[in-house]
Every structure is written in C-alpha cells, then in structure tokens.
Amino acid sequence: MTLESILCNARLVLEGEVVAGSIRLRDGKIVDIDQGTAVVAGAEDCGGDYICPGLIELHTDNLERHMAPRPKVNWPHRAAIMAHDRELAGTGITTVFDAIRVGSILSDKGKRYGKYARGMADEILAMLEAGGLKISHHLHLRAEICSESLIAELDEFGEADRVRMVSMMDHTPGQRQFRDISKFEDYVCGKHGLSREGFEDYVQFLYGLQEQFGEKHEAATVAAAARFGAVLASHDDTTAGQVETSRAHGVTLAEFPTSVEAAEACHDVGIATIMGAPNLVRGGSHSGNVAARELAEMDRLDILSSDYVPASLLMGAVGLGHLWDDMARGIATVTATPASAVHLADRGVLAKGMRADVLRFSEIDGAAAVRAVWSAGMRVA
C-alpha cells in the first residue's frame, strides 16, 4: 500500500534558504518539492508553519536517564529504550546516536561505574529488529579512558553493531570538563553519592587509573573506531595542545570544547565543533566552561547536541536562526551538518530522493513548538 503525505502552505527550510512551498512524501522518500502557498486537494494545510528535515542527535545521555530514573533504580531496559525513543520523536529528533559508555571501574573504590554497554546495545538492536522503535537509532560508544576495562569492552563490538561514532572521554579531575576540582566534587558527591570525606582518596584513585591506562586506552579507542568504520570524536578539549593530539588521532568532531582556545584550534585544523543546546538555551555552561552563544557569535559553532535535554535541540537551533538572522543556517546545525559529519548521505536536507524524515514546527511567543514529525514517511508524533 502506498503511504503518502502532502504538506502545503509551509515555510520550507531548504539548504541556505527558507521558501514558501509544499512537500510530498511517498513510501519513505521525499518525492516532490514545489514553491508557493497553494493547498491541493487531500493535502495538510500547514498554515505557514516551518517544515524542516528531522533533527539528528549525535550525543545524548537521555537513555541513561530512562534506565535509572532515580538513584539505585534500574528500570526495565526495553521499557526505557521505548520511552527514550518516543520522547525523542516527540521533540522532532528522527535520527539518534545513542551514547553508551564503554569502560568500567570494577574495583571496590569505583563501583559507581559498572559494565553495561554490550547488554544495552543488544537490547537496542533487538528492539530495532523487532520494529519496536519509531525513529532511526545508531550507536555512539563513549570510551572512558580513565577506566579499567575499556579494551575488553571495545572488543565485544564489531562492524554489525551500527556503531557509527566513538568518542574519547577522559573525566580525570583537574583538566578538561573538570578543571575546577570543586565542580567535580559536587558532581560525584551529588549525583553518585560519594561521601565528601572519601573524595580526595577517589581523586587520587582516578589519577592512578589515568597514569596506568591513559595512553594505552587512547590507542585502543582510535583502533576500535577504525575497525568499526566509525567517526572518531574528542570530548571536552580545553587547550590547543589537546586539539593537536585529537587531530593526530584522526578526530573529525570535537564534542563540547570547554574554551575559546580549543574552539579556535578546532576551526584551524578542520575539526567540527559540537556544543550543547542546553548550554545555549540556558545562556551558559553548568560546569563553568565557555558559553555556546559566545562560540556562535564567533562563528565557531558547527553542530548542536541536546546532551541531556532532548527538547533543547530544536529550541537551540531556532535560537541560532534568530541570533544569526538566518533560520536555514540555524536549522542546519541539527540537520545537514551533523548528517554530513557522520556520513549519513540519505537525510539532513529537504530534497527529492532523500529519506522522508520531516519535522513541522511553529513558534509560540518565541518558543519552538513541534506540530508533527515523520520518520521515513511514517507519522510518529
């Protein structure tokens, strides 16, 4: 049976411009795009709403929130995966790279970071195979350099696992995201229940892990990304020296650089910069790092990620559209640019023959409001 939708009288967000027009979706593809405000018989009148490509999310911790909705609560994983999937669909995200941590701390001092990646990946892939998910899911392995079991966990994955992105994470305190040790103390004591009395011992334990495993784990992560055929990303680069190391490893994406220095260095060597949409929406970083808006004003922001708030992705992109006075450019930070960065050539732009991942949205008192979402031509929200 042919599945067709016609959306008319819309503002189409095309590559480099926004035009009045209509779009026809058929059997999972975009088959026609026309300009004008006419509404044909059987079409959905969008009343001047925006129509743009479905949003592409490269780094989100949202699944972990559904897995553990409260401290010490382990929610049934398949229920968590479905809730995560439907929440993303409702915010306009039609392609997600589910960020799963690989690399655990298994000794007594680090029980907070147990092994879970392979089992979670199996459940996501099983849900996809069973047709239980509304949007397109891929895996993003977050490789914790400061861990004990990273190499063994990476070895559990292969080319068939839909791993399209691998990022190198080093959360050792005193550098990168946690240059301010007090911020790290608040994080691990507040989120993970570490006692303040035991904090200094824990920091020294982590320093020991970095000294023992850091160089070996970085090399293993670079090799694993190549084995998977995945894009390699850095995380929380702070200095030009760290960016140079990333470049030497073959990194093409920099997640959440923490300083202007790092963002400038990324730009100079052709590494695309990903910043958090919550940072942009809130007006600053919750960790005290560089503000996304500052980098946007400097033309050093390429891609947005919703990170820990899915609804922030559309809000942030629309906000950039107004900041730059160019809605097509703002929307590209969550559609065309991330698609290109991870080599997804079938989505990210409104064009004939592309996958029919489409978002309809409007603005209400300056806030972006999702009206409808289609994933591969099927309405999912």
Q: Return the pLDDT at 99.
A: 95
- Specify the CATH number of the domain 54-347: 3.20.20.140
Instruction: Give the percent of the chain with pLDDT over 70.
Output: 90
Convert the pLDDT of each residue in 308-362 to its tens digit.
999 999 999 999 999 999 999 999 999 999 999 999 999 999 999 999 999 999 9
Instruction: Please report which confidence band the pLDDT of residue 74 belongs to, taking 50, 70 and 90 as the band edges.
Output: confident
Q: Return the pLDDT at 197.
A: 62
Q: Return the pLDDT at 288.
A: 76
Mean pLDDT of 178-196: 58
Burial 143-167, CB ≥16 within 10 A → b, else e: bbbbbbbbbebbeebeeebbbbbbb
Question: Is residue 338 within 8 Å of 326, Cβ to Cβ?
Answer: no
Residue recorded with tokens 């409808």: 372
Backbone angles phi, psi at 20, to 5 degrees: -75, 135
pTM, entire model: 0.91
Sequence spans of domains, the chain = 54-347
